């Protein structure tokens, strides 16, 4: 990890840069695949699945037989852990439901808002080096609670054309309508345009690599909404001299093992603590099964010393981390002052991996500084709000004159006339 001591603010932009390729470097590839899938449908999907995943598929969807086999293959201990996670995620997201409240803005004028589910949603689950069945829970559970009619899950197959049984089991448990053996750019393109067999959806959710992130952003140009730009994983820990160095190191490594393009940052007001954590990282990384990946990610990562907690907080808000862990003797200062973060983990016994799996919060979060403008996935992500108004005769009499004056001032005669006619009918 690269160490930076008291970096001046003028250097923060460069210091906090993510280890990602520029959009221009991959946009050409994404665009060409989109155009191919738009023109050729299933043939385009098959072509890129063969190229990128090394398998030729006749059927893109998991069969009933595969679902039954998956349930048998998942160990009972894992099923119990998945159920605990499902219960906690369900509790947290169910609590986000709101009731209809009618507001009488003026006597005779009633206004209210009602939420309706997005009818067709696509859930993208990355494949690669780890079967992220936890992401199935994070996306499918709120979609099910929201009442989405079609929930299409897309995830890349292995070279045998198979999906990890735990992904299939979690999807079936959480109400997924169809499980699609397609990943990468071609999956996002298929969900965007629809093909002979793949349904077109209204909104696409889920994390992915940089190619998937750009593909999701391109989907918005074709009228399909997305949850957020969610690219390679990132974590920032703030720790002072009171922090447990082994805990901090374990949290940093838990994100570093996600992928070579992940980034972890430690910000501290103690130079000694930076050194302790660095030593702990070297000790712990040797025992990881994914140490090769973690080591590459660590090379992209930073140890940053600053003099004061005020400077630390300012730097953290400038970075806007996806995951933010607070391990200090004044956690409240950071909790109350953080403005840009996807999910916050407070205290020595709140590891980031708890949020990844079983605490109940959602782990699908904005990355790459998008926490400055985006929220993580929540129940409202799967809903849309529709406003309603109902005006009585008395109500139109109370606000009609104001509407006429406002419409007249904007030169919109038909707007004014729509009210005038009604007011005249009441005389």
pLDDT value at residue 129: 63
Beta strands in 291-402 (DSSP E): 302-305, 323-327, 343-346, 383-391
- Same CATH topology for 2-20+232-360 and 392-425? no
Query: For residue 150, what are its two tokens?
Result: 């079609």
What does the alpha-carbon distance between residue 199 and residue 119 come to, in Å, rounded to a whole number? Answer: 12
pLDDT value at residue 168: 97
pLDDT value at residue 21: 59
Which ranges of the chain have pLDDT less than 50? none
pLDDT value at residue 172: 97
Per-domain boundaries in the chain? 2-20+232-360, 23-229, 392-425
Which one of 93, 258, 323, 363 is the catalytic residue?
323
- 258 is annotated as an active-site residue: no
Query: For residue 43, what are its two tokens?
Result: 């043939």
Residue 381's SS3 state is helix
- 323 is annotated as an active-site residue: yes
Distinct helix (H) and strand (E) counts, the chain: 17, 14
How is the beta sheet containing 225-226 ordered, strand by strand?
178-180, 150-154, 120-124, 203-205, 225-226
Q: How far does CA 10 lie from the centroid of its chain?
A: 31
Rg value, the chain, Cα: 25
Domain 23-229: CATH superfamily, name plus number: Nitrogenase molybdenum iron protein domain (3.40.50.1980)
Q: What are the b/e assignments for 315-327, b being 16+ CB within 10 Å?
A: bbbbbbbbbbbbb
CATH number of 392-425: 1.20.5.1300
Non-local (6+) Cβ contacts of 41 within 8 A are 193, 195, 196
In CATH terms, the fold of domain 2-20+232-360 is: Rossmann fold (3.40.50)
pLDDT value at residue 230: 78
Which one of 278, 322, 352, 363 is the catalytic residue?
322
Tell me phi and psi for residue 331, to 5 degrees.
-60, -35
pLDDT value at residue 229: 81
């Amino acid at each position: 990890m690269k160490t930076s001591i008291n970096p001046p603010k003028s250097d923060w932009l460069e210091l906090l840069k993510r280890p990602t390729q520029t959009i221009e470097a991959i946009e050409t590839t994404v665009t060409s695949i989109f155009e191919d899938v738009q023109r050729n449908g299933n043939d385009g999907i098959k072509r890129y699945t063969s190229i990128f995943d090394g398998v030729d598929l006749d059927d893109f969807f998991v069969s009933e037989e595969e679902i039954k086999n998956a349930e048998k293959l998942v160990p009972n201990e894992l099923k119990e852990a998945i159920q605990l996670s499902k219960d906690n995620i369900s509790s947290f997201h169910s609590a986000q439901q709101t009731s209809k409240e009618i507001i009488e803005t003026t006597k005779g004028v009633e206004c209210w808002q009602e939420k309706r589910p997005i009818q067709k949603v696509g859930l993208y689950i990355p494949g690669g080096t780890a079967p992220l069945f936890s992401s199935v829970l994070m996306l499918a559970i709120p979609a099910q609670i929201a009442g989405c009619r079609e929930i299409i899950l897309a995830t890349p197959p292995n070279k045998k054309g198979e999906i990890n049984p735990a992904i299939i089991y979690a999807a079936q448990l959480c109400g997924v309508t169809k499980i699609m053996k397609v990943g990468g750019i071609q999956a996002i393109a298929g969900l965007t345009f629809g093909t002979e067999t793949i349904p077109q959806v209204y909104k696409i959710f889920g994390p992915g690599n940089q190619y998937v992130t750009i593909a999701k952003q391109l989907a918005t140009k074709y009228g399909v909404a997305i949850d957020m730009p969610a690219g390679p994983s990132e974590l920032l820990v703030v720790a002072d001299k009171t922090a447990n160095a082994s805990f901090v190191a374990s949290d940093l490594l838990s994100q570093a093992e996600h992928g070579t393009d992940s980034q972890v940052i430690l910000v501290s007001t103690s130079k000694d603590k930076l050194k302790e954590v660095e030593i702990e990282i070297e000790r712990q990384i040797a025992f990881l099964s994914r140490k090769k990946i973690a080591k590459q990610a660590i090379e992209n990562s930073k140890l940053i010393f600053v003099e004061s907690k005020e400077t630390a907080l300012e730097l953290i808000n400038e970075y806007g981390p996806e995951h933010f862990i607070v391990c200090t003797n004044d956690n409240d200062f950071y909790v109350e002052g953080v403005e840009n973060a996807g999910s916050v983990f407070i205290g020595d016994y709140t590891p980031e991996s708890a949020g990844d799996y079983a605490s109940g919060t959602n782990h699908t979060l904005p990355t790459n500084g998008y926490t400055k403008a985006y929220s993580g996935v929540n129940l409202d992500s799967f809903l849309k709000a529709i406003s309603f108004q109902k005006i009585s005769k008395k109500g139109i009499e109370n606000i009609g004159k104001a509407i006429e004056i406002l419409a007249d001032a904007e030169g919109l005669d038909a707007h004014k006339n729509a009210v005038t006619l009604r007011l005249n009918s009441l005389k």
